[in-house]
A and B are shown apart, each in its own frame.
Chain A
Amino acid sequence: MFSTSGSYSVVARSMLNGALLALRELAEAECGVALEPIVVNPSGDLARYRTLSLELLGDGIRHVVGCYTSSSRKEVIPCFEKFDSLLWYPSHYEGFESSDNVIYTGAAPNQHVLPLVDYLASRVGRRAFCVGSNYIWAWENNRIFREALAVRGGTVVAERYLPVGETEFDQVIGAIIDQRPDFVFNNLIGTSAYAFFRAFRTACRARGIDQVTDIPVASCTLSEPELAEIGPDAIDGHLTSSVYFSSLDSPANAAFIEAYARAFPNGPISSADAEASYIAVKLLAAALEQAGTEDSRAVRAAVANQRLAAPQGEVRIDPQTYHAWLTPRIARSARNGQFEVLLEARSPVGPDPYLVQSSPRFAVAMRGPALKVVRS
């Protein structure tokens, strides 16, 4: 269930491709289970997500791989709980959720935003300007970012939220250039993000600002097919925190990239969310085979501790949270439309969706200046 049309369709189409590639490989390998995909497209419409989920589950389907936005996932979870079925959610998200009816194969916040805060605070600067699409992903990811940055002595100079699909950024960009933060933390998604990257680069260039050096943009969402959408004028120099980049140098990833390109020559090219969808289908098949039934509780029990040699490295499911152990990485986009990996964890990192291990006990309030001068 992927929105292959609508404002974030580029990523969703790469996710569908990732899932279909896994199904194709499973069929070719003649694994112990035969999976027949039914593909539906909610077109980014929240009400459609719910209607389609109820239709699929009402027809007896017990396992759905899908959703990209957190708002869509939260919209359909009650349906999966009602039918006691499993949603295999293959995207990074903001955490603070652990439904018994969801298997999370994308990154939790301790695997994307916290490593990014560490990188930015130690190597880029401590004054951030946050922009995001106006829904739970940006609100919560910015909150986690703000609190983590405050602990490291940094500040968020402003936060701006715009509707999903908004492409008019003159006012926000004017505010960013006025504030001159050390970097922009971007939680815009889909067409909004592509428009922002283009307009911000153009505005900086017009004012003689070297955007990549002076005000870099950092994200937890930006992926390879989206770099292509941004276009050549503003494609390079963007920082991204993710658990997968298609430039990873490993035999497993080389095989994945080659198979993906052969299967989908018309794109969109692979992405972290495509890999997470690929992983979700592979784990689903392994769990179905082990369980010997499609019953959701049996499959859920069987997926715990499943290990997979994924394109990003070893992935396994944590039996307590049903989130995945993944390998965090920080990369910078290059003119060739790929990411150059700057840093990576030595081994897979356990999921901490509630940030139990990695956040302070009490909420951190951003400190104001010790002395404020007011002109009267």
Chain B
Amino acid sequence: MTFRLLQNFKGGRAIIVAKCSTREVALETTLSKLGVSSEYPDIVGGRVQIDVARLQVERDILFIDGDLESAVVIEVDPASRLPPVPVIGLVGVEAPSRLKALVNLGATSFLRKPVHGGAVYTSLFMGINQFLLRSEMYRRLHDLEERRRGRRALVRAIICLMKSGLDEDAAYSWLRRESMRARQNLEFYCEEFLSGRAKSPDDFHRTNGVELQGGNKRAM
């Protein structure tokens, strides 16, 4: 899967976590030109009322006012450090502690308060696409980590085949060919092979097609 740049935000929903008394009119107006609706969730007892489980990554963008003290508690994936949807920080007091809090919430872009209409498109574009890019990078990293862990099975499978008489290159080639035939990645196939669920070279020779004598076709 490759990263695709999102450039049309039509149908998006901005959830703006800020005090209603300090509504950012320029933000709402510009978002509406970009086809993005705006909502201000209630803040009760200093905590914003958002059902994080109902957020939709394809639609929702969180704008979080960094000047609100701990108003938002969202689950940031501990491994990827990504929030469930893109987060854009609204920066008033430009202090390291407040910027750090926004970074910890997974903010991938920022807007200074009061918001200037001319800055919104850039911030939205960067915020969403950085989120998508980081999500894609994390998926690839996760995949590579899985494969790295599986290298042990590959080494063991090669040693196992070498014990049956194949040399190192032939053992690797056989495993690679059979994993492709099984449409599995090499490391996963080796785990299957070691657990006895995949066929051994002997099985392969037994079950392989019978060569027809005098003909050009292989019986299936």
Known: A99-B117, A99-B118, A100-B117. A360 touches B32 (CB 8 A): no
A98: nearest chain-B partner, CB-CB: B33
Indicate if A171 sits at the interface (CB-CB under 8 A).
Answer: no
CB distance from B58 to the nearest CB of A (A): 9
Give per-residue flags for A288-313: 1 if the beta carbon is below 8 A from chain B beta carbons, else 0: 00000000000000000000000000
The complex places the Cα of A129 from the Cα of B117 at a distance, in Å, of 36
Known: A99-B117, A357-B10. A363 touches B5 (CB 8 A): yes
A360 and B117 contacting across the interface, CB-CB below 8 Å: no
Indicate if B46 sits at the interface (CB-CB under 8 A).
Answer: no
Q: Which residues of A contact B163 (CB under 8 A)?
A: none
In this complex, which of A77, A96, A100 has the most chain B Cβ atoms within 10 angstroms of its Cβ?
A100
Interface size class on chain A is: 10 to 19
B117 and A98 contacting across the interface, CB-CB below 8 Å: yes
Give per-residue flags for B1-28: 1 if the beta carbon is below 8 A from chain A beta carbons, else 0: 0001111111000000000000000100
B4 and A362 contacting across the interface, CB-CB below 8 Å: yes
A361 and B8 contacting across the interface, CB-CB below 8 Å: yes
User: Which residues of chain A from 69 to 102 have any CB-CB distance to chain B below 8 Å in the complex?
Assistant: 77, 81, 96-100
In this complex, which of A81, A354, A359 has the most chain B Cβ atoms within 10 angstroms of its Cβ?
A354
Q: Which residues of A contact B6 (CB under 8 A)?
A: 361-363
Q: Which residues of B contact A100 (CB under 8 A)?
A: 26, 117
Q: A98-B117, A353-B33, A361-B6 are in contact. List 18 more A-B contacts (CB 8 A).
A: A81-B118, A98-B33, A99-B118, A100-B26, A321-B33, A354-B33, A354-B35, A354-B121, A355-B8, A356-B35, A357-B35, A359-B8, A360-B8, A361-B8, A361-B10, A362-B6, A362-B8, A363-B6
Interchain Cβ contacts under 8 Å between A and B, 20 examples: A97-B118, A98-B30, A100-B26, A100-B117, A320-B32, A321-B33, A353-B33, A354-B8, A354-B33, A356-B8, A356-B10, A356-B33, A356-B34, A357-B10, A359-B7, A359-B8, A361-B8, A362-B7, A363-B5, A363-B7
